[in-house]
Amino acid sequence: MSKFIDSFRHKGLRRKLVQEVREKGITDDSVLEAMEKLPRHYFLDSSFVEFAYQDKAFPIGSGQTISQPYTVAFQTQLMRVEKGDKILEIGTGSGYQASVLHLMGAKVFSIERQKELFVKTKAFLENLNYRVKVFFGDGYKGLPAFAPFDKIIVTCGAPFVPEMLVEQLKPGGIMIIPVGDDVQTMISVEKNMDGSIVQKEHGAFRFVPMLEKKNDGKNNKLNY
């Protein structure tokens, strides 16, 4: 498929995008390097390729979006990713955020509640040969069978910090989660070695909502 060609033009556009993200205040080179490597246009439908290298969120079907590159960079930087980190993502969506983490050397586990997106993105990431484990499930519950995680990243707007996710964080671990209704506050939750929790706020962002339960596509009312 033509969308899987990463041309000089794409690479040039991507370099400019990463420069733009850097100028907006992202300083972690490992994040910027991964974003410069990863062809974002692979993650959009081929008819929208020209939108891939703007610093904007974009619809990916099932009413969902691929996050804005700056937001991906911002959340990733806050996680202070180290090679070999075991990371849980809530909201697989297009798989872009998970792929950035994979290219940074993390072992990524990602949960998506929309069946259609789950099926599409799982197959797509396997095609790219990326070592990302994708699960169909409810992000509020996390993945107890694979816990604990070094880092957890939530990429949908949560109404509160789910206790089950905090429990699945290792001592010394970090969770980054946007909390709020229409507009979310980016929150970091750090678990100290003694198990105590420190929360900090990092400004306002806008995400699609974190919804409860799985959606297998059979009940249109749930089809957000």
Given the rule CB under 6 A, which residues bind ligand SAH? 64-67, 90-91, 93-94, 96-97, 111-114, 117, 138-140, 155-156, 208, 210-211
Q: Extract the tokens encoding 175.
A: 């969770």
Q: Which of 184, 189, 183 is nearest to 161 (CA)?
A: 189
Nearest to 211, CA basis, from 151, 149, 140, 141: 140
Residue 5, exposed/middle/buried by CB under 10 A (0-12, 13-18, 19+)?
A: exposed
- Shortest distance (Å) from residue 59 CB to ligand SAH: 10
**Angle, CA 22 vertex, CA 19 and CA 27 arms, to 5°:** 140
Q: Smallest distance from the beta carbon of 132 to ligand SAH, in angstroms?
A: 11
Q: In angstroms, what is the minimal distance from the CB of 35 to ligand SAH?
A: 12
Ranges of beta strands (E only) in 9-94 are 58-61, 64-66, 86-90
Which run of H or of E encompasses 163?
helix 163-167
Place of tokens 């929360």: 199
Instruction: Between 88 and 174, name the residue whose CB sits nearer to ligand SAH.
Output: 88
User: Which residue has tokens 């959009």?
Assistant: 44
120/191 with CB nearer ligand SAH: 120
Shortest Å, Cβ 122 to ligand SAH = 13
Please report how close the Cβ of residue 8 comes to ligand SAH at its closest, in angstroms: 25
Residue number, 14 or 113, with CB nearest to ligand SAH: 113
Residue whose CB is less far from ligand SAH, 61 or 171:
61
CA distance 126 to 149: 22
Q: Which of 2, 47, 62, 67 is catalytic?
A: 67
Q: Which is nearer to ligand SAH, 153 or 174 (CB)?
A: 153
CA 187 to chain CA mean position, Å: 15
Nearest to 69 by CA among 55, 80, 58, 81: 55
Token pair listed for 190: 């750090």
67 is catalytic: yes
Catalytic residue annotation: 67
